[in-house]
Amino acid sequence: MKNEKLQKFYKEVDFSSNPKRRKELEDKFDEHKYQLIDLTISVAKNFNTIFRIIRKDIDSNFLSQVGIIPKLHGTNLI
């Protein structure tokens, strides 16, 4: 992932008048979005691994009764 500031594509002057440029900017924005989603999933997986290790080796009730474990479709994420 490049360390550059993502420009707001909709603020470009030729965004609405140049369909080719519009598509290029929208694709770049979509790529950035998907990279953020991938990064978020990766971070969540790493936290899950850490929490499983803590539950296995240190405290089997770690975060199980606190009520802060997020749920997705009724299933605990960790």
Q: Identify the pLDDT of residue 57.
A: 86
Contacts of residue 75, Cβ cutoff 8 Å, sequence gap at least 6: none
pLDDT tens by residue, 38-72? 999 999 888 888 888 888 888 777 766 655 555 54
pTM of the prediction? 0.57
Above pLDDT 70, what percent of the chain? 62
β partners of residue 76: 71
Q: Identify the pLDDT of residue 39.
A: 92
Q: What is the dihedral of CA 40, 41, 46, 51, to 10 degrees?
A: 100
